[in-house]
Every structure is written in structure tokens, then in C-alpha cells.
Structure 1
């Protein structure tokens, strides 16, 4: 019996030794600069009769975007920057299962807030041909003037009530579907003044996290060893009880 326990302890020590010897398994996905066929483009409200003015310039190392929302308050006004990560195919969506933070390095002027929107594929709701049916995860990001580096937890992203209402989605369908990211969108903040130009220059947008896969494997193996140890102890105790119950000659 003691030999069995020694073997189990030795195996557990080897498992832990291998785990601690592994390098940190960090997850990093570069949203910008672009890679893997991703694309970026600007949009405005001109097609719907709006008068917002947008300019956009892209280089290998930066994406510059400026916008002035239309001054006519009788009309809706919008503009933004859209990074398409999916290439239009579900199989190509970015898997952000292990993402715990988003990091922006950018330069800004004329605004103190942007909306960052992450659109994910939701199999219960999404029609690939209708972009707004992708699940919206959104976060308001405060800015200061000039160049800055901003990092914030991805868990702070939320699905706003208006998305459920606009797409007629049952609020019990609240899974984030973080493993299927299709697009990242940058839009003006809620209180951006009309008729006032703002500018953004992005140097990098990065999704980061730490994979728990190795830890999960270790816990599974340790659980297996505990089951073996408990089973062996139970068997040993039962054998002793049977021996004690045997009639003496």
C-alpha cells in the first residue's frame, strides 16, 4: 500500500514539475496592424442623406481617421472605423476565448470618448448576411488629448439594451460568444458635438490573455491520481475487513 502512495506522489510531482517548467502560454491577437486577410475601412451617413465628413488614411504602421458629424440635428449622424477580421466566413472568425484585455495605442484630438464595439457570431441570432445581427459587445472608452496607451478588461464589454430591442432578441440569450469575433468597430462617443471635427490615429490594437489549457490538463491529471488513490485505499480497507471477518482456524 505504501509503495502505491509513493508512486502516486512521484507521478504528481513530475506533473507539477512539467507544468511549472512550461513557458507562460500568453494569447496575443493583433487587431491592428492587420494580418490574416483582415481589412479596415471608414464609413459615414452619406448614403442615408447625412452630411457627416470623414477622412481616412492607412499605412503599414498606422490608421488615421477623422470625422465631423453633420450639423443638421433634424437628421441622424454617424461615422466610424470598421476592422473586418472574419473574411466573411464563420471558420475565419477570431477565437478570443482566452482574451482578458484589449490594449490601444493611439493619438486623439477633438474628443474625450470613443465607443469600441466588438461584433461576435451568435448561432442563435446571427444571419451572416445581416451585420447588425452579430452580437454587439460595447464599451465606452475615455480619452485624453495626444498620444496614449489604454488597456481595459474585456469583461467590461456589455451587450446594450438597444441591441436586444432592435434585433428582437430574447434577453435570456446572453452568452457573449467571445470565441467568435468577426469585427471591431470604433465610433464617436455618445456626446460627441455635431459640427466639431475629431481625429484618431491608431498605432496598435491588441487583444491579450492567458490560456488556462495547461492548468486544466494538470487539474484533470491530478484528479485522476486522487481517484486512483481513493480507490486503492477503499480496496485495501475492504481487503483488511474481509481478512478480519474470516473465521480463525
Structure 2
């Protein structure tokens, strides 16, 4: 019995030692600079009769985007910047299972807030031919004038009520689907004034996190060792009780 416990303790100690010796399993995926077939483009409301104006310039290391929402209040106004990470019709989505934060290195003027939207493939809802049926995860990001580095916890991104209403989705279908990120979008904040130009220069946009796979494996092994130890103790106690109950000759 003692030998069994010594073996179990030795295995547990070896597992912990190996785990502590492993390097951190950091995860990082660049939205910008572009890689792995991703594309980026600007959009506006002109195709729907709007008057918003945009400009867009892309280099290997920076992206410059500016927009001024149309002043005609009888029409809706919108503009934005869209990163397609899915390689278009190939529908090869980015796996952000281990992402815990989005890091923005940017410079801005003319706005105190932007909306950052992450669109993920939801097998219960999404029709790949209809972009708005991808699940929307959104967060309002406050800005200050000039260059800044912003780290935003990914858990703060939420699916707004209007997405459920617009796409007629049951609110109980609330899984985030971080393993299937298709697009990342930047748009003006809710209160962006019409007729006021705002500009956004991106230096980098990165999704970061730490994989907990190794920790999960360790916990699984430790649980197995605990079950073995408990089972062996129970077996030993039962044998001891049976021997004690035997009549003495």
C-alpha cells in the first residue's frame, strides 16, 4: 500500500515538474499588418444614396482611414473599415479560442469613440452568403487624440440586442464561437457628429491569449491519480475489514 502511494506521489511530482518547465503557450494572431490571405477595404453609404465621404491608404506597416458622415439627416449615414480574415469564398476562419484580449496600436483624431466589431461563424444561424447573419461581437472603444495603445479584454465584447432582433435569432443561442472569426470591423461611435471628419491610423491590431491546454492535461492526469489513490485505499480498507471479520481458529 505504501509503495503504491509513493509511486502515485512520484508521478504527480514528475507531471508538475514537466508542466512548470514548459514555456508559456502564448497565442497571437495579427489582424493588421495583414497576413495569411486577409484583405481590408473601406465602405460607405453612397450605394444607398448617402453622402458620407471616406479615404483609405494602405502600406505594409500602416493603414490610414478617414470618414465624414453625410449631413443630410433624412438619410442614414455610415462608413467603416472591414478586415476580411476568412479568405473570402474559401471560408477559412481564424481560431481565436484562446484569445483573451485585443491589442490596438492606433492614432486618432476627430472622434472620442469607435465601434470594434468581431463577426464569427455561428452554425446555428449563419448563412455564409449573408454577412449580417454572422454572429456580432461588439465593443465601444474610447479614444483620445494622438497615438495610443489600447488593450481590451475580449470577454467585454458582447452580442447586442439589435442583432438578435434583426436576424430573428433566439436569445438562448448565445455561444460566442471564438473559434470561427471571419471579420473584424471598425466603425464610428454611436454619437459621431455628422459633417465632422475623423481619422484613424492603424499600426497594429493583434488578438492575444494564453493556451490552457497544458494545464488541462495536468488536471486530467492529477484527477486520474486521485481516482487511483482513492480506489486503492477503498480496496485496501475492504480487504482489511474482511480479514478482521474472519473467525479466529
Cα distance, 1:91 vs structure 2:
5.8
The equivalent residue for 1:51 is: 51
User: Number of matched residues?
Assistant: 249
**Whole-angstrom CA distance in 1 between matches of 2:186 and 2:138:** 10
Kindly indicate whether residue 168 of structure 2 is the aligned counterpart of residue 156 of structure 1: no
Q: Spell out, residue by residue over 1:97-155, the C-alpha distance to the aligned partner (whole angstroms, 9 max, x if none).
A: 11111010001011111000000011111000000000000000000001110111111
The equivalent residue for 1:221 is: 221
Kindly indicate whether residue 2 of structure 2 is the aligned counterpart of residue 5 of structure 1: no
RMSD: 1.0
Q: Unmatched 5+ residue regions in structure 1?
A: none
Kindly indicate whether residue 11 of structure 2 is the aligned counterpart of residue 17 of structure 1: no
Cα distance, 1:246 vs structure 2:
1.9
Cα 1:222/1:89, change in 2 over 3 Å: farther
**Whole-angstrom CA distance in 1 between matches of 2:195 and 2:171:** 36
Cα 1:77/1:91, change in 2 over 3 Å: closer
- Runs of 4+ in structure 1 deviating by more than 2 angstroms, as ranges, are 88-91
The equivalent residue for 1:36 is: 36
**Whole-angstrom CA distance in 2 between matches of 1:119 and 1:168:** 17
The equivalent residue for 2:144 is: 144
**Whole-angstrom CA distance in 1 between matches of 2:45 and 2:222:** 58
**Whole-angstrom CA distance in 2 between matches of 1:20 and 1:160:** 40
**Whole-angstrom CA distance in 1 between matches of 2:132 and 2:201:** 26
The equivalent residue for 2:201 is: 201
**Whole-angstrom CA distance in 2 between matches of 1:236 and 1:72:** 84
Cα distance, 1:10 vs structure 2:
0.3
Q: Secondary structure at the match of 1:92?
A: coil
Q: Spell out, residue by residue over 1:181-232, the C-alpha distance to the aligned partner (whole angstroms, 9 max, x if none).
A: 1000000001111111110000000001111100000000000000110111
The equivalent residue for 2:114 is: 114
Q: Secondary structure at the match of 1:86?
A: coil
**Whole-angstrom CA distance in 2 between matches of 1:42 and 1:106:** 17
**Whole-angstrom CA distance in 1 between matches of 2:121 and 2:89:** 10
Matched ranges for 1:82-101 at <5 A: 82-88=82-88, 92-101=92-101
Q: Secondary structure at the match of 2:88?
A: coil
Cα distance, 1:90 vs structure 2:
7.2
Cα distance, 1:19 vs structure 2:
0.3
Q: Secondary structure at the match of 1:34?
A: coil
Q: Spell out, residue by residue over 1:69-95, the C-alpha distance to the aligned partner (whole angstroms, 9 max, x if none).
A: 111010111000000001135761111
Q: Secondary structure at the match of 2:127?
A: coil
Q: Secondary structure at the match of 1:103?
A: strand
**Whole-angstrom CA distance in 2 between matches of 1:216 and 1:42:** 41
Q: Unmatched 5+ residue regions in structure 2?
A: none
The equivalent residue for 1:174 is: 174
**Whole-angstrom CA distance in 1 between matches of 2:151 and 2:176:** 20
Q: TM-score, normalised by structure 1?
A: 0.98
The equivalent residue for 1:245 is: 245
Q: Secondary structure at the match of 2:220?
A: helix
